[in-house]
Structure 1
Amino acid sequence: MNEHFLRLFDYDQMASRLILTALRDQPPAGEPDRKLTLMMHLLQANHNWLLRVNGRSSDQSDLWPKPEWGAMESLLETNGDGWKTFLTAETDFFRPITYQNQSGATYTNVLADLLAHIINHGTHHRAQIGIYLKESGLEHIPITDYIAYLRLKGPSGGA
């Protein structure tokens, strides 16, 4: 199961990098730019989940921080490295994870379900950003489909 989740998180990293590059190439259209706000949120939420699955609190993190290029690029790399380390070492993807959300409510979910949520959350917001990029005049939106990632990686689809 490690390989499955390593592949999904490698995909997530690649797709976010493509969108971040497209955002950098597309000048902001007004303040605040909702594309950048969504990207910063996506990366911060991903980081919050990384903290939670490692037994650390995320309650001091703002889920909607002001977007800054340096922070987005740093989070992208930190998240990618952190997930790779975590997923490589993980031995029980069906263990319960107890965590608190940003409002302080406590929940328990199976790790595999949390990982699926994290990937789906990223896909959702990248799709929103793609629409906004198109609306602001970008002709060719990066292809961030999972199947395109697998085709790029070759027959094994390995990370």
Structure 2
Amino acid sequence: MDLSTQFQGLSHYNRDMNARLLDGCEQLDSTELAKDRGAFFGSILGTLNHLLVADIMWMRRFVALSSPATQHLRTAQQPPEPTALDEILAPDLARLRPWRQRLDEDMVTFCQALTQDDFAATLHYRNRRGDPFSKCFGAVLLHLFNHQTHHRGQITTLLSQLGVDVGATDYLLWIPEAD
């Protein structure tokens, strides 16, 4: 299996799991979503916003690639530009869900347009402090999906503690059967 197929699969898994997670969150009221539960970003809503912020930051950095695929990262290029990893861009699910859906669809089309050369390219970027980095783009893209999975796991645990079951979350279920 080539990298393009693998990353397309990860982008679909990411999109579908984010939708499933938000469906689970819809079962809670705004007070429960915003309540500090001792998670790294405090609340369920805080963690959802962290994922939104981090994805926007990474997608903005990806635009530096010399690839036609970056034209698909439109949503991340729109204001506002996040400045902190704990920034609350969407104070409720009604505002968060459409933004999350647009970012996830952009990531799906972006991954469909990437080439083998893109995965091997060097991504030059600066972090929030302005420190420069040069890393293999494919590895950084894998980090984005791994980061999503990590924090979705935290949210899934918090939801489970509140009696909300989002179902099976293993990527294995998104991998097609071999011929």
How far residue 59 of structure 1 moved from its aligned partner, in angstroms, is 10
Structure 1 residue 110 corresponds to structure 2 residue 110:
no
Contact (CA 8 Å) 1:41, 1:65: kept in 2 or not?
yes
Tell me the distance in 2 between the aligned counterparts of 1:52 and 1:141.
31
Runs (4+) of structure 1 moved beyond 3 Å? 30-33, 56-60
How many angstroms apart in 2 are the aligned matches of 1:22 and 1:48?
26
Count residues with an aligned counterpart: 152
* 8 A contact 1:59–1:101 mirrored in 2: no
2:168 aligned with 1:147, yes or no?
Answer: no
How far has the Cα of 1:68 moved from its partner? Answer: 2.6
Contact 1:22/1:142 (<8 A) preserved: no
C-alpha distance in 1 between matches for 2:35 and 2:152 = 18
Match for residue 71 of structure 1?
A: 95
The answer to whether structure 1 residue 37 and structure 2 residue 46 are counterparts is yes
Q: 1:61-94: per-residue Cα shift (whole Å, max 9, x none)?
A: 1432323324321222221222123222222201
CA distance in structure 2 between the partners assigned to 1:45 and 1:26 by the alignment: 24
TM-score if structure 1 supplies the norm length?
A: 0.82
2-side partners of 1:22 and 1:30: how far apart?
11
Of 41, 49, 53, which aligns to 2:62?
A: 53
| Residue segments in structure 2 that go unaligned for 5+ positions in a row | 37-42, 65-75
- Tell me which moved more, 45-54 or 56-65: 56-65
Q: Which has the higher contact order (CA 8 A, sep 6+)?
A: 1
Label 1:70 to 1:89 Cα distance change in 2 as closer, same or farther (>3 A): same
Tell me which residue corresponds to 1:89: 113
Q: For residue 68 of structure 2, what is the aligned residue in structure 1?
A: none
Quote the sequence identity (%).
Answer: 25
Distance 1:64 1:124, change over 3 A: same
What amino acid maps onto 1:126 in structure 2? Answer: R
| One-letter code aligned to 2:82 | S
1:38–1:125 contact (8 Å) kept in structure 2: yes
> What is the Cα deviation at residue 32 of structure 1?
4.0
> Does 38-47 or 71-80 show the bigger shift?
71-80
Aligned Cα root-mean-square deviation (Å) = 2.4
Equivalent position amino acid for 2:177 in 1: P
Give 1:148 shift: 2.1
Any gaps of 5 or more consecutive residues in structure 1? none
- Look up the equivalent residue of 1:110 and give its one-letter code: C
SS of match in other structure, 1:155? coil
Normalised by the length of structure 2, the TM-score is 0.74
